[in-house]
Structure 1
Amino acid sequence: MYRLVMMSLAVLAALSFVLSFFDLVGPGPFEILVTAVVLALACAGTDLAAQSVLRLPRRFESSFITAAILLFVLRPTLEPIAILGIVLAAVAASLSKYVLVWRGRHIFNPAAVGATVLTFVSVFAPDLGASSWWVGTPVLAAPVVVLGIAILWRTEKLRMVVGFWIVATAVAFLRTSSQYQAIGETIDPGVLLTQVAFSSPFLFLGAFMLSEPLTMPPRRWQQYTVAVVVGVFAGWPIPLDLGIGTVTLGQERALLIGNLLAFFFALRAAVRLTLERRRELTPTVRELTFQAKRPFAFRPGQYLELDVPHTHPDARGTRREFSIASAPEDLPMVRIAFKEGSKSSFKRALAEVEPGSPLAVTGVWGDFLLPVKSSSPVLLVAAGIGVTPFVSQLRHLVATDQDRDILLVYVASSADELAFRDDIVAAGIPVVVFTRDEPTDLPPRWTWAGRSTRLDADGLIRAVPDIEGRHAYISGPPALIADLAPALGRARSLTTDAFAGY
């Protein structure tokens, strides 16, 4: 995601540079070029110094993303004094990653911090400049939308950001309309709505800043709440009187308020895990068991993001998401599992981690949670390594002595690839197995679907004739979810956990 965001911002910057030659955007070409270089050097230099002092891994992608966002938020310039303001914002943004933190996790969006610092300082020194959000121009609306959708689709935050955009646009429309009415002027509502929706920074703010995973709360309802709050404050900026001048509670300050709300929702902290042991679950599935150095909270079915620093990472970087296979009651022991076979740099680095080595968890997220009502019948459909979130849920039910009506449909390439058998057996639930070969030692309440039966929509309906009365949960590759969609659509509800592998 770092690479995708960085390249998307680079494309937007290059396009803006070209458009500036035709006076289609606010700043000129040399203003954009010089400001971009200054921001990149200031952010990278500050990050490098902080990472050296704190002995942290180098993350230049983060530096360039912060610089690129600030390029569109601040006012590009060639004035020497204003260049100092650009440097001030860049240094403040980068330092916030290491100063405005809680147990190793930064609380605020760095670019929003940098822009806010410059805006407040400019009250005392106006020549330093301030934020301008020149990205909110009609000619850049379409590129921002296209690039933003590419990012939000990958992070599954599209609906949340669309909700923010609708709220911000509606509030800004009402505010502007009331201002025109107060001075006795009329305006075409359609023209005003178009201007507010596409000539404002809302699109960029939502796609590239609000959606930042590290400042998002873990639950979906919390994320929507943050989106609404930011939308309201961004759409109706509140003026702040500082005695010698006034600043408005604009886009970046609205985002900081949302970041603070997200922090209090989760009070997330960086979690350090120490590798205890490795275990071979199947010929291709490996389990890693860690000890957490301090307590942290998660719910059965959620996932964590594991950071494995290594040299020469591939385009997907040094972080990956893993469903937690252990229950909250197992803490401080934490288990994850993964399938071997990928040649990614991350998998190679993970295979080389020695017992006793510490690794960082950058956060816990997810809404792949069983129904709160314990009497609700549930269907679990797991494909291969997709069984891991269900293992966490089943271990939790056993640990809390809950008896629920649960049926597991377990799909594997072969009988010897059925992982976590002991954990599933301990839950005492019925299991329907779909494998090409017949398992020879199935536990009680486990049945094999048969050699001639494949798991498609018809096969699932035959295996689960009462599917219409169950809440369905499926964890597996997107292709399987698509194949089963006609059958899963009959369930009382459907929750998916799709993954594409590493």
Structure 2
Amino acid sequence: MSSSTTSAPAPRTGGSPLARVDAALGRVPMYRVVSLALGALVLVSFFLAITRSLLPSVFRLEAMALTLVVLVGVSVVANALLGLAFRVRAHTESAVITGLLLWFLYWPTTDTAQLAWLAATAVLANASKYLLAVRGRHVLNPAAAGVVLVLVVQELASVDPAHRVYTTWWIANEPALVPLVLAALVVLWRTRRLDLGLLFVALAGVLVVLGLLNSTDLGAGTALEQYVVSSPAIFLAGFMLSEPLTLPPRRAQRLGVAALAAFVFAWPQFQTILLPQPVDLWVFESTAELALLASGAVAFVLGQRGGVRLRHTGTRRVGAEVWELRFAPRRPVRFRPGQYVELALPHRGSDRRGVRRVFSIVSPSDDPELAVALRVPEPSSSYKKALLALEPGAVLGATGVGGDFVLPRRPGPVVLVAGGIGITPFLSWLRSPEAEGLDAVLVLGVPDADDVAYRDELVAAGVPVVLVAPGAPADLPPGWRHLPSAFLTADVVVDAVPDLGERTAYVSGPPAMVTAVAGGLRRRARKVRTDSFAGY
């Protein structure tokens, strides 16, 4: 899961809609996808208000605009001031997203007292990123943390209920349903969390509908329609539950957290089946925020809790634009071959993508040091420049280790398909003791046959390699074959591996390549597993 954009031969994506979507979304940082999706929903909401598709007495344009300005403006200012106080560079786009999320949670208002409380919510939400964070990792979803903290403060301060602010999650309305679904799907697809979102929405739906059938006279169809149209499940799944920094590292863990969130979310309806009397939830009228808090807390427990400090020991070039960086952990870091590490590197002039990146670990599992590789084209991001500028002895933190693209315990015959820098997880596989006796064929796509990153390491691993490149190499190592092709496609893999039907295919690289190649292999290989960078 290297965060570098691969330089592999691009797959032909013209006939694959999913590959075209991946190619388009892959060029946009994750935070930008989220902010654009939320911005589109803001425009949709104003259009619905102008056309009076939303309740006119509540959704007045001046109230919507004023509330939006207060929440986003205060969020950005508070985040900037907190960054100065904690001596870190504030991530402005993250603050904008927090403000936009909160805008969809509260009724629009022009009341001064309520606007003040909304401003306090934005401040507390951004403060949670600094105060409720461990080694750069959010413990709780910031927007949900802000909502809960304000509810508690209002209760403890005995604020007049008429002046309190309560969440309504008003984005869950029938006129906005289709745009909301489309926006949520885009975000979930970009973040590779579609399975998580679908599980949450489906399981919460089942529990809510069962509860409504038990406690009301609604029919099944009406209860389901009420859930889909009126509950914030879709918005929560697409824009909040999918937040990478509040999810555990493994897929099974993430799905378990989604199931927990669904149960908490559906509790007000589902509890009627289990209990004779409803449980008092204190100040919480909505369990949506509680679902996010519960899932975030469990995710933190499941994640990398021990501090990971890495001392830089050296940098070396392993390809024309590919560099390897090695780090000595202050204490051993346990990982399985194929997993990734997220590195946090605060630096001056950081760009919109922030100060964290995810990189596949290239070192074998028995190496006391941790190595990552990245492609650094020109021009490059501020993060990559800062990473390459590290001097030996520099220390940085790792906010997490995880990933499911791991060397299987009983793999059987496999074919490893890598596009460019997508070779990195396979390097960890092939060089680890766990790979002894592995029956593997590597199909590697690169744009230049004479520029193969980690060529010597691959030769030493002894695995048969099929090199896919448009030009003939000057020399080919023993056991390697060359297929002249400008594109790494499923058909090329079929030609390269005659016994493909007996092998499990593992495909690694940029999203567009992975989608195109994996889709073409699903009926040809015994099984297909994928790894692609979703990004930040």
**Other-structure match for 1:6:** 35
Q: Cα–Cα, structure 1 residues 313 and 14, in superposed 2: closer, same or farther, change >3 Å?
A: farther
Q: Is the 8 A contact 1:384 1:417 kept in 2?
A: no
Distance 1:501 1:216 in 2: 15
- Runs of 4+ in structure 1 displaced over 6 angstroms? none
Q: Cα–Cα, structure 1 residues 458 and 143, in superposed 2: closer, same or farther, change >3 Å?
A: closer
Task: Find out whether 1:490 has 2:529 as its counterpart.
Answer: no
User: Could you report, residue by residue, the CA deviation over 1:448-480 in whole angstroms, capped at 9, with x for unpaired residues?
Assistant: 235589865454334322222211112234347
- Structure 1: which amino acid aligns with 2:501? E
1:183-222 alignment runs, 5 A limit: 186-222=217-253
**Other-structure match for 2:294:** 257
Distance 2:207 2:178 in 1: 22
> Residue 177 of structure 1 is aligned with which of 213, 229, 233?
213
Distance 2:219 2:140 in 1: 38
1:364-375 alignment runs, 5 A limit: 364-374=401-411
Q: Is the 8 A contact 1:438 1:451 kept in 2?
A: no
> Residue 305 of structure 1 is aligned with which of 323, 330, 342?
342
Distance 1:437 1:415 in 2: 6
Q: Cα–Cα, structure 1 residues 318 and 489, in superposed 2: closer, same or farther, change >3 Å?
A: farther
1:33-432 alignment runs, 5 A limit: 33-123=65-155, 124-125=158-159, 126=161, 127-180=163-216, 186-237=217-268, 241=280, 247-248=284-285, 250-268=287-305, 271-309=308-346, 316-331=353-368, 333-346=369-382, 347-374=384-411, 376-397=412-433, 400=434, 402-432=436-466
**Other-structure match for 1:449:** 482
Q: CA deviation at 1:36?
A: 2.1
Q: Is the 8 A contact 2:248 2:300 kept in 1?
A: yes
Flag the structure with more relative contact order, 1 or 2, with Cα contacts below 8 A and sequence separation at least 6. Answer: 2
Name the SS of the counterpart of 1:210 in structure 2: coil
User: Could you report, residue by residue, the CA deviation over 1:474-495 in whole angstroms, capped at 9, with x for unpaired residues?
Assistant: 2234347625744453222111
- Structure 1: which amino acid aligns with 2:296? N
Q: CA deviation at 1:97?
A: 1.3
Task: Find out whether 1:434 has 2:471 as its counterpart.
Answer: no
Q: Is the 8 A contact 1:240 1:248 kept in 2?
A: no
Q: What RMSD over aligned residues (CA atoms) do the two structures have, in Å?
A: 2.9
Q: Cα–Cα, structure 1 residues 57 and 329, in superposed 2: closer, same or farther, change >3 Å?
A: farther
Distance 2:476 2:313 in 1: 30
Q: CA deviation at 1:73?
A: 1.4
Distance 1:121 1:156 in 2: 36
Q: CA deviation at 1:359?
A: 4.1
Task: Find out whether 1:469 has 2:502 as its counterpart.
Answer: yes
- Structure 2: which amino acid aligns with 1:60? T
Q: Cα–Cα, structure 1 residues 466 and 56, in superposed 2: closer, same or farther, change >3 Å?
A: same
Q: Cα–Cα, structure 1 residues 330 and 146, in superposed 2: closer, same or farther, change >3 Å?
A: same
**Other-structure match for 1:183:** none
**Worse-matched range after superposition: 113-122 or 217-226:** 113-122
Name the SS of the counterpart of 1:38 in structure 2: helix
Distance 1:222 1:2 in 2: 23
**Worse-matched range after superposition: 164-173 or 97-106:** 97-106
Q: CA deviation at 1:353?
A: 4.1
Task: Find out whether 1:24 has 2:61 as its counterpart.
Answer: no
- Structure 2: which amino acid aligns with 1:241? D
**Worse-matched range after superposition: 269-278 or 149-158:** 269-278
Q: CA deviation at 1:257?
A: 0.7
Q: CA deviation at 1:427?
A: 3.1
User: Could you report, residue by residue, the CA deviation over 1:274-324 in whole angstroms, capped at 9, with x for unpaired residues?
Assistant: 433221212332222233345444321122334455566555555443222
**Worse-matched range after superposition: 66-75 or 477-486:** 477-486
Q: CA deviation at 1:426?
A: 3.7
Q: Is the 8 A contact 2:191 2:535 kept in 1?
A: no
Q: CA deviation at 1:156?
A: 1.0
Q: Is the 8 A contact 1:233 1:250 kept in 2?
A: yes
Name the SS of the counterpart of 2:366 in structure 1: helix
Q: Is the 8 A contact 1:283 1:416 kept in 2?
A: no
Distance 2:500 2:78 in 1: 56
**Worse-matched range after superposition: 349-358 or 336-345:** 349-358
Name the SS of the counterpart of 1:282 in structure 2: coil
TM-score (norm 1): 0.88
Structure 2: which 5+ runs fail to align? 1-29, 272-277
Q: Cα–Cα, structure 1 residues 94 and 453, in superposed 2: closer, same or farther, change >3 Å?
A: closer
Q: Is the 8 A contact 1:122 1:128 kept in 2?
A: yes
Structure 1: which 5+ runs fail to align? 181-185
Q: Is the 8 A contact 1:104 1:269 kept in 2?
A: no
Distance 1:401 1:86 in 2: 55
Distance 2:450 2:189 in 1: 35
Q: Is the 8 A contact 1:438 1:448 kept in 2?
A: no
Distance 1:200 1:352 in 2: 49
User: Could you report, residue by residue, the CA deviation over 1:10-64 in whole angstroms, capped at 9, with x for unpaired residues?
Assistant: 2322332343342615443222222222223432333223222221112121212
Distance 2:518 2:192 in 1: 21
**Other-structure match for 2:3:** none
Q: Cα–Cα, structure 1 residues 471 and 197, in superposed 2: closer, same or farther, change >3 Å?
A: same
- Structure 2: which amino acid aligns with 1:202? A
Q: CA deviation at 1:80?
A: 2.6
Distance 2:302 2:497 in 1: 38
Q: Is the 8 A contact 1:305 1:363 kept in 2?
A: yes
